[in-house]
Amino acid sequence: MIPSTWRALLAAALLSVAGHAAALEPPKGVPVLTLTGQISHTNQGKSAVFDDAMLARLPQKTLHVHAPWYPTPQTFEGPLLRDVLDAAGASGKALNLTALNDYVVAIPSDDATRYDVIVARRLNGKPMSVREKGPLFVMYPFDSNPELRQAEYYRRCAWQLNRIEVE
């Protein structure tokens, strides 16, 4: 039997190790996405900064969708938005998505749990350049969820995404 003092010390040590296991590693490459606001896992000051390799290590999802910006269906690949938010320990109710061109759109954070929204890093198997709406493009599963095929959800697809503020 372990004395209660030792149990308390052991529990504190385990919680400390668990906290470090959840820490976000610093980016080694060029940063492509920064999360701020209500996040608990940071790696640069009060921000969670991701390079492409960090996003690539998250489970990847592929969406083949008809989107209004392309004449034919396109294949997008990247991590689920909810996995990116989880990696940063996000806990807010709203997300402000900001693009390189300063486009800003607010979306409810529960979109990330209700739908398989992805942070696309690849288009038709290739990395996206800024000219091709990259390097990141928030994409909704329009083909598998017909109710999403409306202007409100098309506006939420921020291309050239580079920041998410969690409120």
pLDDT of 16 reads: 39
Q: Per-residue pLDDT for the chain (167 aa), expressed as one digit of tens each?
A: 545 444 443 444 433 334 443 579 999 999 999 999 999 999 999 999 999 999 999 999 999 999 999 999 999 999 999 999 999 999 999 999 999 999 999 999 999 999 999 999 999 999 999 999 999 999 999 999 999 999 999 999 999 999 999 99
Residue 110 sits in a domain whose CATH number is: 3.90.420.10
What pLDDT shows up at residue 45? 96
Q: What pLDDT does 3 receive?
A: 52
Q: Is residue 12 part of a domain?
A: no
Check residue 98 and give its pLDDT: 98
2 lies in some domain: no
Whose CA is closest to 124, among 112, 137, 115? 137
Cα–Cα dist 162/34, whole Å? 6
Half-sphere exposure of 154 (CA within 13 A, CB side): 10
| Count of beta carbons in the 10 Å neighbourhood of residue 39 | 21
Domain count, the chain: 1
Tell me, what amino acid is at 78? G
CA-CA distance, 94 to 11, in Å (whole number)? 34
Which two structure tokens, joined as six digits, stand for 50?
């991701």
* Burial (Cβ within 10 Å: 0-12, 13-18, ≥19) of residue 149: middle
| Residue 82 within any structural domain of the chain | yes
**Residue range of the domain that includes 55:** 24-166
